[in-house]
Structures are given as structure tokens and as C-alpha cells.
């Protein structure tokens, strides 16, 4: 009898029953003098004892401002130490931290402030083209629940921390004692590829355990130093990064306020980082730096690549030239805290590039018929679903949307097309909505993309389906060339595919681009690529 596409992660190690604050206390007690946080741009450093004191100061400052358990505190900032302090301080007192994308403009900011009912907002002052103070002033009158905004690096931040003096330590301890690990602690807004974003509401139990198990899977100890060029406002940074580090007594290293490939490699070299995170496009940017070979990256042993599949050639270089022999691929979504599947340290190259790993401990996954919901035999493509401690509490104040995503059995429906292999490893073959149907043939873009990565003129590629009068859809390849002065032609592309891919999979159209539109989590927005191509017809 064919085995079904179902797997569950077993372990003799139980889930953590701590709140985030209690877990941090354990790390402080075990490693008080080890470094917890390093901010390379400013040169600031905190040992675990110092970090704990700084977190408590911000927590007491928030209490002084009247922030109570369950209140929503917004964080609208680039990567900086204060972001991390607010993350742990809100968890200490039971406030719900709401992550806000630093790229948001006025109407998006207004939506999140209102939808989450944010009472206190902590914000950067400015970054790139964004004047955060001006944007807050623009929407303040439309957001009656917003009582106060604290700006990082401004006297208002000093006022926040100075307010701690008015709050006894005993009051902070009393606030922490009222908390349960099942309380909501974080709201993260999904990318919103269609319509308004939804606020995935996550508990201490959700994200602390996920960070812990992601870190455990790559072997973290207090000896590790984790370089995080990925954004804190997304699960990748704040859960897999920050919580993954502190739950093992490791050190968080911030290389820059936002991704900068040179600053990232400089931080790895300077701080002797053992782990580096990124989406594949970040690793591609680092590997393609003109002076890449001059950086000493020999301290690296591991890291996590997530957000989208890793091309084989990129993975080969990451392992060989960046010394990341134990690099891990992670798969998940904001609604699942985020990681459900992960490759292991000793997996071979094929498993690290051809799959997104196997199920993590204490989690279940299955592949089902997208229409009927029946679990499919292994080897057949269907929708990936996941269940366990990591599934969100729900979308904030949107029970109907929650019911659309999480079924009565508490299975989270991912919307991803997947195949579970006989060995339990899972391949993601695309989004249900990204599958191309050309003349009745089902085409999975990932297969074509993986083949095209081997072309010497292609640095990065995304394949999408676009409307066609006769076939319904045709195959479009969107290419970022290695050399902008010598771009690929459609004739070269098709010639490369002839005899290697079935005729109906060979792209009939080509677009040369400088960059791809991305979601906050590092996934390419294929819907934009399709829409742009359709407008060009």
C-alpha cells in the first residue's frame, strides 16, 4: 500500500512551557557574561546580564506609560538594538508587539494602527526616503487609540527609559507573574499580496518554541554568533534570529539597519560570526560582490536560507566559498511562527536544494487534494497543510478570515503546492495560484527556473504564466542578467532549452529586469510580474 503524504516530528525533548521573559531569564542566569547583542554600526554591545537590565528598563518604562497586559505596542523601525529591546520588553509585561514594515507609507500605517488598535508606537525617525515623524503626524488624527509615539534616538526614547525609575522592580515581577505562555505576544501583518494585510496573532508558545527548534536544528549553543541582515519586522529576523539565538544563549549580531551585502560580510569577519541568515537573493548579492574573496568568512559553519528555493549553483558556492557546510533551508509562513520544515545539518546538496527539508519536532504536515481535502499518496502534488504548536492563534479581529485559513481540525492551509517524497522530505513546486496551465498541461515554474539557473548569462530568474489567446497561458521567463551590458536574448534562451525541456515548458516570452518585486519575507511577488507582463502586451 502506498504511504500517504503525512509526517509528524517526534522528539524525546519536550516543548518549552516558558514565556519569552522567563526563557530569557534562564539564558541570563546561565550565561551572564557572554555577549547577547552586538550592533556593528554603532559599536554598542550587551552581555546577557546587561541585555536583561536594558530590557527591564524599557519594560518598566512602558509600564510607566500605562501599557498593560494585552495592550498593542507598535514597532515601526529598521534593524537596531532598540527594536530587540522592545521585542523582549513587551513580552516581559504581556503587551502585544505589532510589527510594522518600515517601507509602509501613510495609508498602510493608518490601516495597521487602526486595525490592531495600537496605543503606543515606537518608531525610527527616518530611513532612506521615509520621514517617519511626518508620516505619523499625517495619520495621527485618524487613529484615536494612538496615545503616544516614541522615536528611537530622540529625547522621547530617553523619556521612556527614564520613566523606569518610577516603577518598582516588584511591579515588573508582578506583571510577569500574571502571564501564560499561551497569551498573544506578537501580531505580524502578512504581505498582503491581495487586498489588505492580515494580522497573524502569535503566542509566546508559538514563537519561542519555533525559534528554539530552528536553532536546535542547526546546533546552536552559547558559542554561536548569529549575523542577522534579515529584517526584524518579519519572523525570519525576530523569531528564527533573535529568539533562536537567545533561547540557546547565543549572540545576536546586527550588521546594518537594512540589508547591505558588504556590511554583512564585514560584520561576519569582524565579529567572527558562526551563522548567517538570508534569502537566496541576499546570498547571491554577497557572492557577487567585487571584493567577495577578500573577506575572511572562515568562522562561519551554518546559517539559514529561507523565503524562496535556493538554486543549486548558489548553494554550492555558499557551502564551498562561505564555509557554511551546515547551512539549513527553512520553510514556513508567518501564520506558523514561521518554520514547519527544515533541512538537517548533514543533509546532502540535493536535499538542500531540491527540498525544503522535513517536518520539525512536535509539528505535523500533510499534502492534500486542494479541492477535496483528502491526503494524497507520497509523490503526488497537492496543497501543503501543517498543524501543531506553531499554528497562529488567528488573524487579529478577523474570525472569518481565520476560518478560511485554519480548518476545524486546526490544520493551517498554506496555499503552496508540494510533493512529499518517500523519505518524508518535501518539495515546494509552486503556489496553487502560480501553477501555469498551458493547453491543458500543468506546468510548475520551479522546475523551469532550476534548469535556467545553469545558463551562464542568468543571475536570477522567475517563471510565470501570462494570458494567451490560444493556449490559455504561455510561459514567461523574467531574467536578471549577470552582465547588464550583455543580456540574454529569447533565441538564446529557447536554444538552451531545446531538447532539455518538454516543448510546452520552454518559455515563449522573455523579460530582462534589474530586480524582482519582493514581499517583506523575501518572496518574489509573481503576481506583479504577471500583471506587468500583461500590461505590456
The per-residue pLDDT for range 511-530, each reduced to its tens digit, is 999 999 987 667 788 889 99
In this prediction, residue 144 carries a pLDDT of: 95
- Please report whether residue 366 resides in a domain: no
Where are the alpha helices (H) located in 218-289, listed in sequence order? 235, 244-246, 261-271, 280-287
**CA 153/CA 453 separation, integer angstroms:** 44
Which parts of the chain have pLDDT scores under 50? Answer: 192-194
- Please report whether residue 262 resides in a domain: no
Phi, psi of 462 (to 5 degrees): -135, 135
In this prediction, residue 426 carries a pLDDT of: 97
String of DSSP letters for 306-343? -SSPPPHHHHHHHHHHS--TT-EEEEE-GGGSSEEEE-
Question: Which of 396, 472, 346, 465 is closest to 111 using CA atoms?
Answer: 396
**What is the total count of domains within the chain?**
2
- Please report whether residue 385 resides in a domain: no
**Which residues share a beta bridge with 406?**
412
With the C-alpha atoms ordered 435, 438, 444, 445, is the resulting torsion angle positive or negative?
negative
Beta-carbon count within 10 A of 107 CB: 11
Q: Which residue has the cell 522535513?
A: 358
- Please report whether residue 147 resides in a domain: yes
The domain that holds 530 is classified in CATH as 3.30.300.30
In this prediction, residue 471 carries a pLDDT of: 85
- Please report whether residue 204 resides in a domain: no
Q: Which residue has the cell 557572554?
A: 34
The domain that holds 150 is classified in CATH as 3.40.50.980
**CA 18/CA 209 separation, integer angstroms:** 9
**CA 309/CA 402 separation, integer angstroms:** 27
- Please report whether residue 527 resides in a domain: yes
- Please report whether residue 531 resides in a domain: yes
In this prediction, residue 536 carries a pLDDT of: 80
Lookup: cell for 484: 547588464
Phi, psi of 487 (to 5 degrees): -70, 160
- Please report whether residue 89 resides in a domain: yes
Of the residues 152, 180, 208, which one is the last residue of a structural domain? 180
For residue 506, the enclosing domain spans 446-536
In this prediction, residue 191 carries a pLDDT of: 63
Of the residues 180, 204, 223, which one is the last residue of a structural domain? 180
> Contact, 471 vs 505, CB < 8 A?
no
Element (H, E) at 227: strand 225-227
3-state class (DSSP) for residue 129? coil
In this prediction, residue 193 carries a pLDDT of: 42
**CA 268/CA 244 separation, integer angstroms:** 18
Phi, psi of 68 (to 5 degrees): -115, 170
Of the residues 180, 196, 218, which one is the last residue of a structural domain? 180
- 509-512/472-481 β-pairing: parallel
Amino acid at each position: 500500500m502506498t504511504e500517504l503524504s503525512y509526517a509528524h516530528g517526534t522528539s524525546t525533548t519536550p516543548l518549552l512551557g516558558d514565556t519569552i521573559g522567563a526563557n530569557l531569564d534562564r539564558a541570563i542566569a546561565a550565561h551572564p557574561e557572554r555577549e547577547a547583542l552586538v550592533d556593528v554600526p554603532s559599536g554598542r554591545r550587551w552581555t546577557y546580564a546587561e541585555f536583561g537590565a536594558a530590557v527591564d528598563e524599557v519594560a518598566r518604562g512602558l509600564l510607566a506609560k500605562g501599557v498593560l497586559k494585552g495592550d498593542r505596542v507598535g514597532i515601526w523601525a529598521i534593524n537596531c538594538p532598540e527594536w530587540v529591546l522592545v521585542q523582549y520588553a513587551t513580552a516581559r509585561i504581556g503587551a502585544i508587539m505589532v510589527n510594522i514594515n518600515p517601507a509602509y507609507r501613510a495609508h498602510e500605517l493608518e490601516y495597521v494602527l487602526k486595525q490592531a488598535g495600537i496605543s503606543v508606537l515606537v518608531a525610527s525617525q527616518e530611513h532612506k526616503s521615509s520621514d517617519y515623524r511626518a508620516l505619523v503626524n499625517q495619520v495621527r488624527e485618524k487613529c484615536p487609540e494612538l496615545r503616544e509615539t516614541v522615536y528611537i534616538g530622540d529625547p522621547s526614547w530617553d523619556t521612556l527609559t527614564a520613566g523606569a525609575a518610577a516603577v518598582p522592580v516588584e511591579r515588573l515581577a508582578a506583571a510577569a507573574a500574571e502571564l501564560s505562555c499561551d497569551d498573544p505576544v506578537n501580531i505580524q501583518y502578512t504581505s498582503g499580496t491581495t487586498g489588505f494585510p492580515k494580522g497573524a496573532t502569535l503566542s509566546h508558545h508559538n514563537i519561542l518554541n519555533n525559534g528554539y527548534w530552528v536553532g536546535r536544528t542547526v546546533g546552536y549553543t552559547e558559542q554561536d554568533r548569529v549575523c542577522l541582515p534579515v529584517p526584524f519586522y518579519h519572523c525570519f529576523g525576530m523569531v528564527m534570529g533573535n529568539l533562536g539565538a537567545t533561547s540557546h544563549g547565543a549572540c545576536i549580531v546586527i550588521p546594518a539597519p537594512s540589508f547591505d551585502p558588504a556590511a554583512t560580510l564585514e560584520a561576519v569577519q569582524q565579529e567572527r560570526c558562526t551563522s548567517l541568515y538570508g534569502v537566496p537573493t541576499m546570498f547571491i548579492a554577497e557572492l557577487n560582490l567585487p571584493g567577495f574573496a577578500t573577506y575572511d568568512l572562515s568562522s562561519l559553519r551554518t546559517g539559514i536560507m529561507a523565503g524562496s528555493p535556493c538554486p543549486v549553483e548558489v548553494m554550492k558556492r555558499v557551502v564551498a566559498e562561505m564555509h557554511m557546510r551546515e547551512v539549513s533551508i527553512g520553510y514556513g509562513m508567518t501564520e506558523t511562527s514561521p518554520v514547519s520544515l527544515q533541512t538537517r545539518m548533514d543533509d546532502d546538496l540535493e536535499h538542500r536544494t531540491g527540498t525544503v527539508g522535513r517536518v520539525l519536532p512536535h509539528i505535523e504536515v500533510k499534502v492534500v487534494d486542494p479541492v477535496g481535502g483528502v491526503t494524497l499518496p507520497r509523490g503526488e502534488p497537492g496543497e501543503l497543510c501543517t498543524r501543531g504548536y506553531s499554528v497562529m492563534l488567528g488573524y487579529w479581529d478577523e474570525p472569518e478570515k481565520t476560518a478560511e485559513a485554519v480548518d476545524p481540525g486546526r490544520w493551517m492551509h498554506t496555499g503552496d503546492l508540494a510533493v512529499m517524497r518517500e523519505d518524508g522530505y518535501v518539495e515546494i513546486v509552486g503556489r496553487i495560484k502560480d501553477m501555469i496551465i498551458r493547453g491543458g498541461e500543468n506546468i510548475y515554474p520551479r522546475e523551469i527556473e532550476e534548469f535556467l539557473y545553469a545558463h551562464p548569462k542568468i543571475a536570477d530568474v522567475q517563471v510565470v504564466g501570462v494570458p494567451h489567446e490560444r493556449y490559455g497561458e504561455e510561459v514567461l521567463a523574467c531574467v536578471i542578467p549577470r552582465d547588464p551590458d550583455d543580456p540574454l536574448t529569447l533565441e538564446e534562451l529557447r536554444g538552451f532549452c531545446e531538447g532539455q525541456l518538454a516543448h510546452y515548458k520552454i518559455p515563449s516570452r522573455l523579460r530582462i529586469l534589474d530586480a524582482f518585486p519582493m514581499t517583506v519575507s523575501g518572496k518574489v511577488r509573481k503576481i506583479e510580474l504577471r500583471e506587468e507582463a500583461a500590461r505590456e502586451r
